[in-house]
Amino acid sequence: MKDLDPRRIAHLERVHVPPPDAPLVGWRPLIVQVLLFVGAAVSYFAVRNLTEGSEATADANAGHIVSFERWLGVEWETALQGLIVDHDLLVDLANWIYIYGHWPLIGITLVGLFLRAPAEYRILRNAMFISGGIGLVIFAMYPVAPPRFGALDVFDTVTNRSDSYRTLQPPGLINRYAAMPSLHFGWNLLVGIVIWRVASSRLLKAFAVVIPVAMAFAVVVTGNHYVADVVAGGAVALVGLACAMVIASAPATAPSDRVGT
């Protein structure tokens, strides 16, 4: 067996490979992570917009989902919205959850994990990136008109009762037919799971459970998603999480070098 080059051994001994839970200290890691998320967000919304399917196809696919839900006995969208539509406070609460319980909550969670639990930050980040990529493929291949577009007798409470969300996400950046899967729910599910993993108090663990449950309810009662979208969003998010966990458990390796020949 050929002996290892002593110079290579000495070089590898000097290489420091940070463990998965190593803190992300300093401005450089922060800037890198911000650029990663900004680039991912821009790409995500750009691709969503560019891959918007035809109205006829999206409406047909929406009809298929409604028929499938009826066959399963889970076509609950109209009934669930009926529970809140005559109560302004409940409508406002659902809208606030849909708007402020998503991106603002995700952002706060990512910052907190970045500072306090870098290993969990990496898991959440990678899970979001992977599930987002899967979602984009599905949006392009299977466009679905949301229930608020007429497939069911529901209306868009967010647009009708609030101007905030359409200001935060202008229509020009949105794929109108990206109902399936609901990453609004899927990513909140990821946030809830990661918060549960790092939480030390019962209150925070309870909050971690409430996060995805509240969002599942909100995306349906606001007329933006079908029940099936929620299930699919959770499945896609969990696939992303499983992949992120595999990445996190992979042994750290030193960068390749070419010392000697």
The pLDDT-based confidence of 19 (bands split at 50, 70, 90) is low
**Residue 258, domain member (yes or no):** no
**Residue 14, domain member (yes or no):** no
Tell me which of 202 and 160 has the higher pLDDT: 202
**Residue 6, domain member (yes or no):** no
Instruction: State the total domains in the chain.
Output: 1
**Residue 193, domain member (yes or no):** yes
pLDDT digits 0-9 by tens, 48-90: 555 455 788 889 999 999 999 999 999 999 999 999 999 999 9
- C-alpha distances in Å from residue 218, one per residue of 80, 132, 175, 192: 10, 20, 19, 16
**Residue 66, domain member (yes or no):** yes
**Residue 2, domain member (yes or no):** no
- Expressed as residue numbers, the domain containing 95 is 24-249
pLDDT score of 1? 46
pLDDT digits 0-9 by tens, 199-225: 999 999 999 999 999 999 999 999 999
**Residue 19, domain member (yes or no):** no
Nearest to 175 by CA among 223, 212, 142: 142
**Residue 12, domain member (yes or no):** no
- C-alpha distances in Å from residue 243, one per residue of 84, 107, 114, 196, 250: 38, 21, 20, 19, 11
